[in-house]
Structure 1
Amino acid sequence: MGTRIDFNCDLGEGCGNDAAILPHVTSASIACGGHAGDETTMRQTLRLCREHGVAAGAHPSYEDREHFGRRILDVAPADVARMVRDQVARLRAIAREEGVALAHVKPHGALYNVAADDRAVADAIAATVADFDPALALYALSGSALAQAGIEHGLRVAHEVFAERGYDTRGRLRPRGTPGAVIESLDASIVQVRRLVAHGEVLADDGSVVHLRADTLCLHGDRPDAVAFARAVREALEAGGIAVRPFGAAA
């Protein structure tokens, strides 16, 4: 097909399967204290990234460990900027000690979804990343306000699609807890992955086709079968002639 994709996973969230997932992905977004993670988990995950040659990024979130960062909080854009800066700085300090260069920033959970449509929040995140280190890539939901804000702030933007999440007609992720929000079947996930990566499209909840740019493909590392999913998705991509490389890596 002549297609390539970055395969990323959200890690360092205390799920205990990072070491088994990392050999199958090319990028990792590491929890840095907002919804999960502490110095120990950040250091351990960075070391695993270094061992497996996986690009490491920061995964900042609302400061809401109780709800795993998946509850929308009433936080002003200025406070979002502070949270993102503090969390990314925390991870980078440890990464430097471990000899690992950070490659990207990807907001987590509710913050990620809010930034997909709230331009003020999107601008706060993008401006913070650009000010912190303009060499960092910004991972954003494909076609979202965050992706546009990143471009306008001069960042390299990876338009992100999801292996095992359902979509609505606007190309947004269906809210967790609603029917079809999470794809449980590995076979169904593989069908969606192939369609997204090879054709840039996904079936929405009403059966219509939504076109999406796919630079990076995400798998959630907190699902109990994440290791099996990671292995199967990687094998399916390569079997389809798709090159799996970190975002921005040379061909």
Structure 2
Amino acid sequence: MFSIENLTVRVNDKNLIHNISLTVPKGEITAVIGESGSGKSTTISAILGMLPPQAEAKGAVFFNGENIMTMSKKDSLLLRSKHIFTIFQDATNSFSPTQKMKQQLYMFTALRVGDDKERFFSKMTAILKELNLSVAILESYPFELSGGMLQRCMLACALYNEPDILIADEPTSALDMLHQQHFITLLKNLHAQLGTTIILVTHDLGVAVSLANNIVVMKEGEIVEKGQATEIFEQPKHPYTQRLVANHF
């Protein structure tokens, strides 16, 4: 369903990603782990077509047999908007401070799938209730909501859109411990409810242990180990993975 083949990303004559290949199993949660600078977020940027202009990407990113990287910009943008939804590290940066939440949530959801405002309000109200968020937040501005509430708003968008692939890029790093645990529970519920394929990018092994079926370990732009989560954490083979596990546990 979704795979990366021989992906290399080069910026200013420096390779940030070195010829990586990865298959993401359909309907499962795959965690990409590694310390800061390991190449996790650069890989996600390549998938999303969000690399800086000076970056050069080679290789292939396949979704349902189609190579996104060889599509026209219009077609790749359409495919990503219809099939992939992303929750970024700090939800505050995902929203404009000058617009109320109802306008922004509408743009992230109903506008993408072609629903009218009546359908949006009905469906979003039910989803917000499911996430223990008051419908009153629709009249709020982002700066009036906490980081945890904004992350739940992004989850609400994912529940609304029902994407084939949800990418969560360090979704808990800006949250305190209590809100981290709550977000993890909600992400589990979303996965159970929709069967969404999830790519979780994190440096937090505790989050990966809590959620993932599969683990991909990155170091300095390379994949050094990958496999089922239980195998990776119980019997890590690569010295780098062994160190990560030892430091966490």
Superposition TM-score, scaled by structure 2 size: 0.36
More helix by share: 2
- Structure label with greater radius of gyration: 2
Return the TM-score normalized by structure 1. Answer: 0.36
Q: Which structure's relative contact order is higher, taking Cα pairs within 8 Å and 6+ residues apart?
A: 2
